[in-house]
Chain A
Amino acid sequence: MDLLYKIFLDPFVQMGAAPDLLLQTLWEGLVGGVLYALIALGFVLIFKASGVFNFAQGIMVVFAGLTLVGLFGVISGLGNVNEHVAAFAALGLTVGVMFVLAVGIERLVLRPLVNQPDIILFMATFGLTYVLIGVGELIFGGEPKVMITGELFLPRGSTDWEVFGGFVSFQHIDLAAAIIASLMVAGLAVFFSKTRIGRALRAVADSHKAALSVGISLEQIWVIVWFASGLVALVTGIMWAARSDVSFALQIIALRALPVLILGGFTSIPGAIVGGLIIGVGEKLGEFYWGPLLGGGIESWLAYFIALVFLLFRPQGLFGEKIIERV
C-alpha cells in the first residue's frame, strides 16, 4: 500500500504543494526536449531522404562543435582580431565545413553504395563515425574544449520569475537555446514545405524510382539533407556544449534521440519535435518526482520506458497512420 501511494499519489501531491517547483521542472524538461528534438530532426531528415539510419549523427554534433572551437582558436591566433568577429568568422567557416562534409559523404559513401541494401548503408555510417572520430582527434586533440558562447553573444546568467509564492529560474542560455532551436525548426519547415527542394525531398522519401523518373537528382537531395542535418548538428553542438563543454563523450547524445524516434517515427518532422518535447519533459518529471523512489540512475532508461509505454497505447507512434499490413 505504502509503495503504491508513493508511486501513484505522492508525486502529484508534491506537484500540487509546490507549483513553482513543478513549473521549474517542466521548463527544464522543455529545454532538454528542444535539444532532443534537434538531434532527432537530424536523424529524420536523413532517414526520410535515403532510408538510412545515420549512426554518425552524434559524432557530427561533436565534430561541428570541435570545428567551431578549433577554427576560432586559429582565427584568434592570427593576431589582433576582435573576439566576436573571430567567433562569427569561425561560425561561417564551420557552416562551410559542414557543406564540404555533406558533399564528401555523398560522393564517397552514398553514391558508391547506391542500390545496396539499407543495412550496408547503416554499417557505412558506423564507418563514418569512426573516421570522424579519428580525423577529429588528429586535428583537434582528444581533450574537451570550452564552447565559445560569450564570443557568439550567447547570454549568461538567469532571471527569476516570482510565482506561486516561490520563483522559477530561467537560465538565459536555455532561453536562447529554445528560441534559436525554434527558429531553426521553423526555417527548415518553411524550406521543406514551400520550396521545390522540399517537394523533391518528400518525393524521394516516397519512391526513389518515381523521383528519378521525373528528373529529381538523388545526389543533390542527399547533399542537401546531409548539409541540413549538419547545420542542425552544429546548432545542437553549440547549445549542448554551452552547458558543459565539447568532447567526444557528447556523441552518445545520439542515443538520447532513439526514444524520440521510437515515439515520433523515423520519417515525421513534427514527430521529432513533439516527441523530443514529450521525452524531455517526461524525463525531468520522472527524475524529479519518481527518481528518489528508485534510488536515482533512472535517467538512463526512463526515456525508453516513456516511449514504450506510449507505444502500448498508440502503436503507430505520434503522427503515424495505422499500418495495416497487406496480405
Chain B
Amino acid sequence: MSAKRRPPGEVLLKVENISLSFGGVRALSDISFEIRRHEVFSIIGPNGAGKSSMLNCINGFYHPQGGSITYKGRTRRQMRPHEVASQGIARTFQNIALFRGMSTLDNIMTGRSLKMRAGLLAQAIRFGPALKEELEHREFCERIIDFLEIESIRKVPVGRLPYGLQKRVELGRALAAEPELLLLDEPMAGMNLEEKRDMCRFILDVNDEFGTTICMIEHDMGVVMDISDRVVVLDYGRKIGEGQPEEVRSNQAVIDAYLGVQH
C-alpha cells in the first residue's frame, strides 16, 4: 500500500522469554520477539491476550517476573518509565491518557519535557535563552499540529474534544518527543472509517519520513494486514504466531484463536 519504505535495519528491541502474572492470572508466558529499526510491527490477538501488558512491560509500567528486554543493545530485566522515555520510546494508551485540563498545544508541549534544558529561574522570568528555547519547542509542536491537521483545536482543552481527535492529540504528544520507537495501543479503536484512514496515513508518514519504528496493537485486521511489515499474535498470554501478514493470515493456530473468540 505505501510507496517505498525504508528497509528494516538492525534489531532495535528484543524481548526474550517475558513472563508476567497478576496473582493467579498469567498475562504473559515466555514471550519472545524482535523489532527491527524502521519496521511497522503489530501485536494482535483476542481480548485479554496480553497485548497491552506487553507494551506496559516495554514501557516500564509493568515489571515482568521473568525474561529480559534489550533496547538499543542494552539488556534490562525491568524497564523504568522515565529512563524509557529518555531513551527515545514514546507511547499512546488504549484508554486515552491525556492531560484533560490542558489545551491541545500544551498537551503536545509536554511531549517535549525531556528536550527542555533551560534552568527554572530563567524560565520563570522568561530570560533570553529560555524564551528562545520555549519558542523553538513551540514551533516544533506547531509543525506536529499542522502535520496532524488539528490547527483548529490548538487552544481547546482536550477534555472537550471528541474521541477521535483526542486519539490524534495523544499521537501528537508522543511524536513531540521525536521517538525512535513509537508504541501505539489501539490507535484506531472506536474510530469511523475516515478517521481510521487518516490515522493510517499519519502512522505511515511518520514511519516513512522520520524512519520511526512503530509497534502497534490493533484489532482491525484490514488495517493490520495493510500497514504492518511483521505481526506477532498472542492468545491467553502465549505467542501463537509470528511473521509477515500473509504468513500469519494462513496460520492455523491464529485462525482457530480468532474463530474461538469471534470479533
Contacts and interface: CB of A to CB of B under 8 A. Distances in A.
A215 B85 contact: yes
Given A199-B102, A206-B101, 16 more contacts: A196-B113, A196-B123, A199-B109, A199-B110, A203-B99, A206-B99, A206-B100, A209-B97, A210-B97, A214-B85, A214-B114, A214-B177, A215-B81, A215-B82, A215-B113, A215-B177
B102 A202 contact: yes
Contacts of B174: 213
A211 B81 CA distance: 10
B40 interface: no
A196 B85 contact: no
Contacts of B116: 196
A59 B123 CA distance: 32
Contacts of A194: 123-124, 126
Given A190-B124, A191-B124, A194-B124, A212 B82 contact: yes
20 contacts: A191-B120, A191-B124, A194-B124, A194-B126, A196-B116, A196-B120, A197-B120, A202-B101, A205-B101, A206-B102, A207-B99, A207-B100, A209-B97, A211-B110, A212-B82, A213-B59, A213-B93, A213-B97, A214-B111, A214-B114
Consensus secondary structure, chain A interface = helix
A200 interface: yes
Interface in A156-212: 190-191, 194-197, 199-200, 202-203, 205-207, 209-212
B139 to A, nearest CB: 16
B60 to A, nearest CB: 8
A310 to B, nearest CB: 23
A154 interface: no
Contacts of B59: 213
Interface string B76-89: 00000110011000
Interface residues on A, range: 20 to 34
Contacts of A190: 124
A213 B113 contact: no
B126 A214 contact: no
Contacts of B123: 194-197
A216 B109 CA distance: 12
Kindly name the residue among B101, B110, B124, B174 whose own CB sees the greatest number of chain A CB atoms within 10 A.
B110
A217 interface: yes
B113 to A, nearest CB: 5
B110 A214 contact: yes
Nearest to A192: B124
B61 interface: yes
Contacts of A205: 101
Contacts of A210: 93, 97-99, 173
A209 B96 CA distance: 11
Contacts of B208: none
Nearest to B170: A210
A104 to B, nearest CB: 21
A196 B113 CA distance: 7
A111 to B, nearest CB: 13
Interface in A43-57: none
Interface in B25-63: 59, 61
Interface in B163-218: 173-174, 177
